[in-house]
Chain A
Amino acid sequence: MLNTLISSIGFGIAAGSVIALASLGFTLQFGLSNTLNVAYGAFVTLAAFLGYVLITLWGMNLWLAMAIVAVVIGVLSGLYYQGFIRILIRRGAGIGPVTIATAAALIFIEYAVVSVAGSSVKSYGITTGRTYHFWDFVLSSTQLAIIALAVSLMLIFQVLLRVTQLGRSLRATAVNKTLARSCGIRVERVTSITWLISGLLCGTAGVALALTTQAFDFNLGSSFLILIIAAAVVGGIGEPYGAIFGGFLIGIATELSSAYFNPAYSQVFAFVLLIAVILIRPTGILGAKAKARV
């Protein structure tokens, strides 16, 4: 019984690290520009397919390909903000119309991917590697690498947020744009950079997710998006640490429910958790606390 619990937590951490990476990017976008960017799922899909081109078709090294994809998706995310979201916001579109517009962008991007890459299932063809046993944790070398990568990126982000001028500007902008602007912070520039950073995280998560699932199609990001949003909301939407916490929580909750309940409803369990958190603490688990800290 205990070994099932421990192994499930291990699997949950592995799955949660990918969710946390993606969720961190998503929540940054929301925190800085108050935009529920549904098209984020399409960027995850795009990242997975770009990874397919580089890794499977061109035979590039996995980690190099992941870095290139992250940069490409980061740039695309920045352009997407500048050329689409920012214009909508400037024209006075509220969160509702902007969200619908991003949903349209999701469909557009996914079907653009289909038109180029086809609708068949793709795979990087990379095996998960050697399996390691620590106590009752069972993790493959690929999973360990993804966890290490996720933790490293989160630590880098922590340093960026706490130590650098950009991080301070970012936090100030997230709390109050008007006040930040009056303090001399170039809010638009900070927001654009944040969309670029969130794209980097999204690109990394897309390739990591495709590696984890081994097989994927153009629906990858859409089916994963709901978990990303759930993680962001559970942790406290707009809160970077909340997204990381939420990602791991959702990952572990999903695996634990597979261990002790019917696996068919494992994702339902994650959403029961989401509803419970919203009912008890509408701002998310770290929501109010983080605000107070800032």
Chain B
Amino acid sequence: MQRRFGFTRSQRLLTQFVAFGVVTSVALSACGSPASTAAGNKPSGSTLDIALIAPFSGSNSFLGTIMVGPCDGAVNVINAAGGVLGHKLSCIKVDDLGDPADAVANVSKALATNSSIIGAVGVTSATAATEVPILNAAKITMVSQNGLSLFSNKYYKYFWRMTPPDVFGGVAMGLAAASSGYKKVAVIIQNDVGDTGNTPGIVSALKKKHVSLVSNVTVPSDAASYETTINKIVNLHPDGLIISADSQTTETLLAEYQSLSSGKVPPTILSTQILGSNIFPYVKKSLGLSFATKEMRLVGTYVDETSPQFKVYAAAVKATPGGTKLASAIVATQAIGTIYDGTITMALAMEAAHSTKPVKFNSFMPKVTTKRAGAVEVNSFAQGVKELKAGHTIYYVGVTGPIAFDKFHNSGGEFASFQFTSSSNVRSVKVFPPSVTDALAP
């Protein structure tokens, strides 16, 4: 015999209380639309938030993990210099799970419930197409780390980017294959918006460098097996592989290649986006230390590790919780470095605008970064504040080099290929300046 719901009186009261609480909180959060947050309108001395919007769970969570150090590092440097206009800054994590659907809900919720958010960093390729319009509508200044070509010629007032589009990342991967002497290359791309953005660049660079492209396949992520696809590639006997995929898919692809080719995997080029995952220990264990340190290269945007600001940046990252462990992966990745530079730039723009409100300081983003006659070069927040207080105009040159925003608020950068050292650190092997990558772009 089936029982009916036999609640006691106290259970009923508790249920009604919980229901009332849920309804009230939903109603309150619905009232707090992004546009009504009055971002930055806070009393002096209060803490203002920079939202680090990235995947902190799911298969790309390593990406969010390595972004924390640069964001916290920048905020610590700013706070140590006295903060911004009497306010301390703080980095808060907004988990978008690397999924556009989750991104809409989580970013909207963060904006609706936290009026202290005055800027955003992160906003990566997988979710940028949905997050940028939301942040722009909420009038939140953002420095995005996405590489989507979409934002190369579409204007959003509050959108800023110091990361080159993915297509140039693809060019650099093709260029790395050519410069490594590969003659027959197979390309495997994961079927997502970020990785497929590399394909046109890879194809164009290989063609212009006269490298034979024996296979160019796109595969779904996290499949149970890729063996038919891999077997076809093995039978084409490539002397180099280019793989652009998340770490789980990459490891499965490499394992199946190893299995189907009697243990021999050709030299492989991956994206630096995979840094921070367990790719190095995995490859070291399955393919050997020699392969991990000599046959495997990672390609991504570049930072000049000899500049004075790099040393400050590296120290700032290492001083953050978990920063020491991930420092090598973090500091070698320019796209991650733009989180640090983006946060410093926003803080300098606030100082220059004498306001922490994005509607006021947003237009000062290029004013504190563009090199022009009479402006003083600054390489740190403290130096920038000092020069501004002295009545000078400034341009910030950060860890990722000079910044020159175009009319769509984009500023590119250099690429490089990297290798792991035996102690799992990363060192740059070859730098590809913009003049070279531009010439090979589709």
Contact = CB atoms under 8 A, between A and B. Distances in A.
B277 interface: yes
Interface in A258-283: 258-259, 262-267
A7 B226 contact: no
Nearest to A91: B3
Nearest to B191: A264
Interface string A126-163: 01110100000010100000000000000000000000
B225 A254 contact: yes
A268 to B, nearest CB: 9
A4 B2 contact: no
A90 B262 CA distance: 56
Contacts of B252: 213-215
Given A121-B248, A223-B222, A258 B228 contact: yes
B247 A212 contact: no
A129 B260 CA distance: 10
A35 B39 CA distance: 48
Nearest to B259: A128
Given A8-B228, A14-B225, A209-B224, A125 B286 contact: yes
Interface residues of B, number: 42
A119 B61 contact: yes
Interface stretch (B108-116, B203-211, B213-221, B419-427): B213-221
Given A91-B2, A91-B3, A92-B2, A123 B225 contact: no
B255 interface: yes
Contact of A213 (B3, B248, B259): B248
Interface in A238-269: 251, 254-256, 258-259, 262-267
Nearest to A211: B255
B106 interface: no
A128 B258 contact: yes
Contact of B224 (A7, A18, A219, A263): A18
B217 A131 contact: no
Nearest to B189: A264
A223 B225 CA distance: 13
B57 interface: yes
A30 interface: no
A120 B278 contact: yes
Contacts of A217: 58-59, 248
Contacts of A259: 228, 232
Contact of B227 (A11, A91, A92, A125): A11
Contacts of A251: 224-225
A121 B278 contact: yes
B284 to A, nearest CB: 10
30 contacts: A11-B231, A15-B227, A90-B3, A114-B57, A119-B61, A120-B62, A121-B59, A121-B248, A121-B251, A123-B251, A128-B255, A128-B256, A131-B262, A213-B223, A213-B224, A214-B286, A215-B247, A215-B255, A215-B282, A217-B248, A220-B222, A223-B222, A227-B224, A254-B223, A259-B232, A263-B228, A263-B229, A264-B191, A264-B220, A265-B220
**Closest 10 pairs (CB-CB, A-B):** A215-B251, A214-B255, A11-B227, A264-B218, A119-B61, A15-B225, A258-B228, A128-B259, A264-B191, A263-B229
